[in-house]
């Protein structure tokens, strides 16, 4: 049955890229919506918000700009899987490794996976319309020990507030957030990241020097990510000069000035939160907010 399905599945070449356009690839996948992919709740996939399509062979992913070798790689634990992300914009593109290690003397190339969130829009692959599978990676040993936050508590007083701590995957960046309980009443904006919008005084970050920052468009919102493991951490609202502000449309300028006191956090990095239990809302920022043009070589 499985073989029959495979032979009938039409393959299509999809173009994917990071956000800044330094890395662009073509990958051959079953045509959407029959591209079966899954969300995984393990310590790294849940932080990344990646949706992996696997197993692929290395020849199924062809870089047309940049290459696999110069993407930043991150692996952990028994180091059998390597996650690759763009060093400039932090977007996670590819992972490769062995679900079963080769036996001694066996020469087998690793399985590859592609992050479907990096597939460019306009090709008919819409993650929100896909029936995603679920992989319970969190239950696989060894258990992940979240790095402990050891810095000061955020100064803000929040009525009925609760202190949450979290970190990127490698622990180079750790955060504390004091906010109303993150439960069903919370509306977090879902993209690859899940955002909440606390004030600056509600958030403390340890290891901020380990963050890479990527800006685009208005350059007002710096998307930060751990330079070691690539996990998106927060939005660093940039102080724009009057000249930069003057170049923005009135809407974007007001939006930017109105956000100056915020320190938005990707709650995928907080400990003890089941993001599936949140009342998330989806914002079609791609067509509503952005003037983004998909990078081409
Ligand atoms: Zn990039
Ligand atoms: Zn890290």
The CATH number assigned to the domain holding 108 equals 2.170.150.70
Both 92 and 219 in one domain: the answer is no
What is the pLDDT of the chain when averaged over all its residues? 86
Ligand number nearest CA of 212 is: 2
Going by pLDDT thresholds of 50, 70 and 90, the confidence category of residue 283 is low
If one compares 7 and 245, the residue with the highest pLDDT of the two is: 245
Helix (H, G, I), strand (E, B) or coil at 181: coil
pLDDT per residue over 161-181, tens digit each? 999 999 999 999 999 999 988
Structural domain includes residue 297:
no
What is the rounded distance in angstroms from the CA atom of residue 283 to the CA atom of residue 118? 17
Question: How confident is the model at residue 8, as a pLDDT?
Answer: 65
User: Is the per-residue pLDDT at 90 higher than 60?
Assistant: yes
Residues 56 and 102 in one domain: yes
Measured CA to CA, the distance from residue 187 to residue 180 in angstroms comes to: 11
**How much distance in Å is there from the Cα of 210 to the middle of ligand 2?**
8
**Token reading at 158:** 């929040």
Same-domain status, 123 and 181: no
Which of 106, 139, 172 is the last residue before a domain boundary? 139
Tokens of 184: 């069903």
Same domain, yes or no, for 122 and 169? Answer: no
Name the residue range of residue 22's domain: 2-139
Query: Domain tally for the chain?
Result: 2
- Say which ligand is closest to the CA of 230: 2
Residue that wins the pLDDT comparison between 246 and 285 = 246
| HSE-CB of 162 using CA atoms within 13 angstroms | 10
With respect to residue 251, please indicate whether it lies within any of the assigned structural domains.
yes
Collect residues with CB below 5 Å from ion ligand 1: 18, 20, 22, 86, 88-89
155 located within any domain: no
Whether 144 is in a domain gets the answer: no
| Least confidently predicted of 6-20, 164-178, 221-235 | 6-20
Q: Is the pLDDT of residue 99 over 80?
A: no
How much distance in Å is there from the Cα of 90 to the middle of ligand 1?
6
- What's the gap in Å between 88 CA and the centre of ligand 2? 15
CA distance 21 to 12: 22
Confidence band, pLDDT 50/70/90 cuts, at residue 198: very high
| Spacing, Cα 87 to ligand 1 middle (Å) | 7
**CA 207–ligand 2 middle distance (angstroms):** 10
d(CA 41, CA 276): 10
Find the 43 Cα to ligand 2 centroid distance in Å: 12
Lowest mean pLDDT among 36-40, 162-166, 202-206: 36-40
State whether 225 and 272 are in the same domain. yes
For 52, the enclosing helix (H) or strand (E) is strand 52-56
């Amino acid at each position: 049955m499985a073989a029959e399905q495979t032979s009938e599945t039409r393959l299509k070449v999809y173009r994917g890229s990071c956000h800044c356009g330094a890395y662009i690839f073509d990958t051959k996948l079953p045509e959407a919506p029959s591209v079966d992919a899954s969300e995984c709740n393990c310590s790294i996939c849940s932080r990344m918000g990646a949706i992996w399509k696997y197993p692929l062979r290395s020849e199924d992913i062809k870089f047309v700009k940049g290459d696999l070798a110069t993407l930043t790689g991150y692996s952990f634990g028994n180091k059998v899987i390597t996650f690759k992300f763009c060093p400039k914009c932090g977007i996670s593109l590819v992972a490769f490794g062995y679900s079963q290690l080769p036996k001694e003397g066996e020469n087998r190339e690793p399985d590859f996976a592609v992050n479907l969130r990096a597939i460019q829009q306009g090709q008919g692959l819409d993650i929100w319309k896909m029936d995603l599978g679920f992989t319970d990676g969190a239950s696989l040993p060894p258990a992940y020990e979240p790095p402990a936050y050891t810095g000061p508590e955020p100064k803000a007083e929040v009525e009925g507030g609760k202190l949450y701590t979290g970190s990127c995957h490698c622990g180079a960046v750790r955060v504390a957030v004091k906010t109303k309980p993150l439960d069903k009443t919370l509306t977090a904006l879902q993209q690859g990241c899940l955002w909440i919008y606390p004030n600056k005084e509600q958030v403390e970050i340890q290891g901020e020097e380990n963050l890479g920052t990527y800006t685009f468009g208005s350059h007002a919102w710096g998307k930060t990510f751990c330079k070691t493991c690539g996990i998106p951490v927060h939005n660093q609202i940039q102080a724009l000069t009057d000249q930069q502000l003057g170049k923005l449309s009135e809407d974007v300028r007001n939006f930017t000035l109105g956000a100056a006191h915020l320190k938005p956090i990707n709650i995928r990095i907080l400990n003890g939160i089941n993001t599936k239990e949140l009342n998330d809302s989806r914002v079609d920022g791609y067509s509503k907010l952005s003037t983004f043009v998909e990078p081409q070589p």
